[in-house]
Every structure is written in C-alpha cells, then in structure tokens.
A = this chain, B = another copy of it.
Amino acid sequence: MEMNDYTAEFQHGDCLEILRDFPAGKFDLIFTSPPYADSRLKTYGGIKPDEYVGWFLKRAEEFHRVLSDMGSFVLNIKEKVVNGERHTYVLELILALRQQGWLWTEEYIWHKKNCHPGKWPNRFRDAWERCLHFTKRKDFKMFQEEVMVPMGNWHKNRLRRLGENDVIRLDSKVGSGFGKNIANWLGRDKAYPSNVIHLATECGNKNHSASFPLALPEWFIKLFTREGDWVLDPFVGSGTTCEAAARLARHSVGIDIVREYVDLARSHASQYSGMRLLDKTATYGKTKRKRANGIH
C-alpha cells in the first residue's frame, strides 16, 4: 500500500489554546460548525446566547492568525429560537467579526432538503442554515470549476440545432439589455452553482450523526483549496470536515474540547487509507508520525 502525502491530525483541547502552537498563515481553509449557543448549560459546548459573541471572538482572533492571506473561513451556523424569537447572536457575530478585520464576503445558504420533521403552531420546519464566508482580503483563492454540477439534459437537445435567435437575443421586445449567447454553451456539460447549496442531511448510518453531511465541507474544500492544502476545523466534532479533506487529498487538523469526539474522529479518519494520522498528543512542529491504525 502506498502512503500519500497528506495527514490528518487531531488534538484534544480548546482551540483557543491549541492553535497558539500553529504558525501564522498555515491554513488555506477553516471550515467549522461551532457549538451553537444554547441556554441549557448542560448541553455539549453549551454557551449561553448572550455570551456567545465574546466567546467566539477570542477564538476567531486565532483563526485569523493561522489563516493564510488568500484563504477562506466558512462558518456553518444557525441561530436558535429563544423565547419565541430568532436570537440575534449570529447577526452580532457577523458585525463583530468585521470589526475584528474579517471581510464578510458572502453568505451561502445550505438548503436542507430533508430537514427534521416537526410541527409547531407558529413556525414551519427549519430547512436552512447559514454558511458565512469570511476572508482576509478581497482577492482570495476560489476555484469555481471544481464545484460545477452536471447540466440537465435539456441543453444537449438545445444545442443540436442553433437557431438564429439563439446567437443573439432579440432585445427588440423591451430592450432590457441582455444578449444571450447560446454558443457559450457549446462543449459544456457542467454548470456553475449559485450561492444556494441543496444537500440532504445525512441521517443515520454513522454512530454519531454529524451536524452536517460530508458533502457540505467537501463543497467548500473543493471550492477554496487545492490538493495538498491545509484545512482546519477547530470544532471538529465527529470529524466530518477532516474526513472530507482526506478524501480530497488535503491535509487537515481537527480540534475538539470533548475527548470522545476527538477519539471518534480519529477512528473515522483511520479508515481512510493513505492518510497519515498524527498522534493526538503531538504538538505542531515536533509531531511523532504514527502509522494509521486499522488500515487494511
């Protein structure tokens, strides 16, 4: 079996502390779904809504430091309903992150095609989450071709016979200014997506269900990094982000404050052949490399 040149490293602890050992500009992408604010303290990672922004901001400062200049920070988050209202901590967080120097470049919507069932008297099922895209600079790395989706079959039939009207749209009707050029579609079989991402939530075949499907980090990893780049998930949970990175031949670092999650994530990762798994106790720079256990 051949070893490839990418690694997955998992560390147990608070990312605020752990990240201090990493050099500035190391990562090309930070993708994470942080513990959501929750008024119930006993919940894992339960930070009170009113303390959330301050709590997050300290960590975001480290994120900013370890992210490369042309890298991206994608935050999958959704505000909870508190006392019948959507809480505003996410809005406040966006404003605060901008104050911290981040550019709020875009907000992608993850549309959850099969969202959790349920019925309430004054609310429908929540079928979407935010994927906030922050960057350090306006000229960040983006590889749009990597996430193109197959076009429908319509265009094949369409292109077989190009009519005259297809080459230039008749703007005599209203004159609103578009000139559509069908010829642009020649030879294409893929289309660019929009900023709405349609993905079903994965329910269930894993032990611990992740908060998002593998395809979500995959999409952003393909969009914002190249093979061999470095991906960070500071709240790695069951390790979905690192799993996606590994499958796409990116290096990754996953951090979580819950030891069980780190163990779980590491055991998931060990199932990917070709990944070098770093010792959890290793600190960056003097890591003992260890063979992945459980490689077949």
* Chain A residues in the interface with B (C-beta under 8 A): 84-86, 88, 91-92, 94-95, 98, 103-107, 109, 111, 114-117, 119, 121-128, 138-140, 142, 144, 173-178, 181, 192-196, 203-204
Contacts and interface: CB of A to CB of B under 8 A. Distances in A.
Given A88-B95, A91-B91, A204-B174, A194 B109 contact: no
Across the A-B interface, the 10 shortest Cβ-Cβ residue pairs: A127-B194, A84-B138, A117-B181, A125-B194, A91-B91, A127-B196, A124-B195, A85-B103, A86-B104, A122-B142
B109 A138 contact: no
A128 B196 contact: yes
A103 B115 contact: no
Contacts of A181: 117
A86 B102 CA distance: 12
A250 to B, nearest CB: 20
Nearest to A141: B122
A88 B84 contact: no
Contact of A126 (B103, B105, B116, B194): B194
B88 A104 contact: yes
A139 B193 CA distance: 39
A193 to B, nearest CB: 6
Q: Determine how many copies of this chain the complex contains.
A: 2
Contacts of A177: 117
Contacts of A127: 194-196
B128 A142 contact: no
Given A91-B95, A103-B85, A123-B106, A116 B176 contact: yes
Contacts of A138: 84, 122
Contacts of A126: 194-195
Given A84-B138, A115-B194, A121-B144, 5 more contacts: A86-B107, A88-B104, A121-B142, A125-B192, A126-B194
A284 to B, nearest CB: 30
5 contacts: A91-B95, A105-B122, A111-B111, A127-B194, A173-B204
